[in-house]
Amino acid sequence: MKVAIIDYGSGNLHSAHKAFERAASESGLGGEIVVTSDPDFVRTADRIVLPGVGAFADCRRGLNAVPGMVTAMTEAVQDKGRPFLGICVGMQLLADRGLEHETTAGLGWIGGDVVEIKPKDASLKIPHMGWNTLAQKREHPLLANIQTGPDGLHAYFVHSFHVNPSDPKDVVATTSYGGAITALVAKGTVAGTQFHPEKSQKLGLALIANFLRWRP
Amino acid sequence: MLKVRVIPCLDVKDGRVVKGVQFLDLRDAGDPVESAMAYDAAGADELCFLDITASHENRGTLMDVVSRTAEACFMPLTVGGGVRTVDDIRNLLLAGADKVSIMTAAVHDRDFVRRAAEKFGTQCIVVAVDAKKVSGEGEPLRWEIFTHGGRKPTGLDAVAYAQEVAALGAGEILLTSMDRDGTKIGYDIPLTRAIADAVSIPVIASGGVGTLDHMVEGIRDGHASAVLAASIFHFGEHTIREAKEKLRANGLPVRID
């Protein structure tokens, strides 16, 4: 199995790389995990991961700046149905539009906008930063054998914006921070986590292993 | 529900832990990576490295430490100490840090905070605020920013400074009371509350922890989002688990996975 972690100059891919390697080896799945900016590798990969930190528009520009990458991703995911995981801003990029600072087009693979978190309780700090639990909205292979709910495992979040999907069915899990925050979305072979699985210890490594096993 | 964070902090000099972690059964108590792995296993919510390496030539050892830690620990890592340029930040992030803490450089050039946040995102820019009480007996409380380990006054009001760096794009404030640092008599609660209530970003309380009750006070009374401590953990007085159980017993939400 070939796993492509897309490098487009957004943040730290070192820990994502190591977390995928660890999850692959611990779960006995093996495979070749490669951090790459080569569209040809992405086109032929069995699994594709799009990380991302920072602002939506910057990430979109960074992704566009890698010649052929968006086309290669689209071909692999939309035409060949290869499983895809977006992480943090990589997940937000799946939406139609990002509204951070300026309005920027996303990939449009999951309908909806990326909007600012506005907690009802004004004393809540932004960014939403730290460990929070997940409320599962529907069954999904990525959450197989992961305990969710108020007494479940925790995921590490750090963000000020989140995806507001146009179809509620695309939401697999939310988290609670002055209201429901979209935590995990999925549609067909495409999935995305607002939290950082590569920083979420137990829950994170289990979710990555589930992604590597996922056969949508 | 978002949980209160417990963050152990390791002082690193020339790639080695200063006053090493003494309770854990480590092969090499001076190796920051071994300590980091032990805290990861113990359930720390984040880890902080403070680099106190004097010379810039030895900076490479820190990068190696950060890189090896990121390979072994799947939790957030903040690195601070000697961060002066956008390139310093980039190098630390590329080595595997999730957040970078800026101190003196932000005091001297506030625009550095804005540039850093624009370049790398608010989520990874922590501004360290080292404050000392300057108001006299009977006067309204006032704290000032000090640099050089609390030796050099800057004339900057700590609350106004915290608000300013938050507005410039800091994602978090690491607040250390220079009066309390190393005293073990507890955080400066009025300072912590004054800053936490004045900014909309999370505040990490630091400086002065001697008991687990101090951590409860930092969150409950100081309104901090996270508590940072060093010696109380390194010398085995308390475990991360004990700290979290104490917080939980006082009605504060914690993560015990």
From the list A130, A133, A200, the residue facing B5 with the nearest CB is A130
Local structure of B50: helix, strand or coil? strand
Instruction: Give chain A's radius of gyration (CA, Å).
Output: 16
A152 min Cα distance to partner chain B (Å): 8
Separation between Cα atoms, residue A135 and residue A148, nearest integer Å: 6
Tell me what the mean pLDDT of segment A41-48 comes to. 97
User: Which residue in B1, B33, B74 has the most chain A C-beta atoms within 10 A of its own C-beta, making it the best mutation to test that interface?
Assistant: B74
β-pairing, B172-177 vs B203-206, is: parallel
- Which H helix or E strand runs over A175? strand A171-176
Encode pLDDT of A160-183 as tens digits.
999 999 999 999 999 999 999 999
Main-chain phi, psi angles of A152, to 5 degrees: -85, -170
Task: Flag whether pLDDT at A92 surpasses 80.
Answer: yes
Separation between Cα atoms, residue B226 and residue B9, nearest integer Å: 12
Tell me what the mean pLDDT of segment A187-200 comes to. 97
DSSP letters spanning B18-41: TT---SS--S-TT-HHHHHHHHHH
**Given the residues A17, A88, A128, A162, the one annotated as active site:** A88
Peptide bond into A127 cis (omega under 30): yes
Local structure of A78: helix, strand or coil? helix
A121 → chain B, closest CA residue: B200
Report whether B122 contacts B171 (CB < 8 A): yes
Q: For the whole model, what pTM was predicted?
A: 0.95
pLDDT recorded at residue B251: 98
Encode pLDDT of A93-109 as tens digits.
999 999 988 899 999 99
Chain A residues bordering chain B (beta-carbon distance below 8 Å): 11-12, 14-15, 18-19, 22, 53-55, 58, 125-133, 150, 153-154, 156-160, 176-177, 196, 198-205
Per-residue burial over B47-63, b if 16 or more Cβ lie within 10 Å, else e, is bbbbbebeeeeebebbb
Whether residues B202 and A125 touch (CB distance < 8 A) is answered with: yes
Rounding to the nearest 10 degrees, give the CA dihedral for residues B85, A130, B9, A152: -150
pLDDT recorded at residue A184: 98
By CB neighbour count within 10 A (0-12 exposed, 13-18 middle, 19+ buried), where does A2 fall? middle
Tell me what the mean pLDDT of segment A46-65 comes to. 93
Q: How far is CA B77 from CA A17, A20, A92, B114, B126, in A?
A: 16, 18, 23, 21, 12
Tokens read off for B155: 């004339």
Residue-by-residue pLDDT tens, chain B, 257 positions: 999 999 999 999 888 888 656 655 666 668 899 999 999 999 999 999 999 876 677 777 889 999 999 988 989 999 999 999 999 998 998 888 999 999 999 999 999 999 999 888 899 999 999 999 999 999 999 999 999 888 899 999 999 999 999 999 999 999 999 999 988 999 999 999 999 999 999 999 999 999 999 999 999 999 999 999 988 998 888 999 999 999 999 999 999 98
Q: Tokens 């999904």 belong to which residue? A: A140
The band of A186, judged by pLDDT with boundaries at 50, 70 and 90, is: very high
**Is the Cα dihedral A186, A187, A189, A194 positive or negative?**
negative
A153 min Cα distance to partner chain B (Å): 6
pLDDT recorded at residue B148: 87
pLDDT recorded at residue B234: 85
From the list B70, B95, B225, the residue facing A18 with the nearest CB is B70
Chain B residues bordering chain A (beta-carbon distance below 8 Å): 1-5, 40, 45, 67, 70-72, 74-76, 93-98, 120-124, 171-172, 200-202, 225-226, 255, 257
Whether residues B96 and A154 touch (CB distance < 8 A) is answered with: no
pLDDT recorded at residue B190: 98
**Given the residues B31, B130, B181, B188, the one annotated as active site:** B130
A189 min Cα distance to partner chain B (Å): 26
pLDDT recorded at residue B25: 61
pLDDT recorded at residue B46: 97
Q: Which residues of A touch B120 (CB under 8 A)?
A: 11, 53-54
Tokens read off for A185: 């979305």
Lowest mean pLDDT among A38-47, A59-68, B19-28, B134-143: B19-28
Q: Which residues of A touch B225 (CB under 8 A)?
A: 125, 129-130
Tell me what the mean pLDDT of segment A41-45 comes to. 97
Encode pLDDT of B170-187 as tens digits.
999 999 999 999 889 999
Tell me what the mean pLDDT of segment A107-123 comes to. 93
Task: Assess whether A198 carries a catalytic annotation.
Answer: yes
User: Which residue in A20, A35, A124, A129 has the most chain B C-beta atoms within 10 A of its own C-beta, making it the best mutation to test that interface?
Assistant: A129
From the list B76, B95, B121, the residue facing A199 with the nearest CB is B76
Q: In sequence order, which residues have a C-beta less than 8 Å from that of residue B55 and are 6 or more positions away?
A: none
B224 → chain A, closest CA residue: A125
From the list A14, A58, A127, the residue facing B67 with the nearest CB is A14
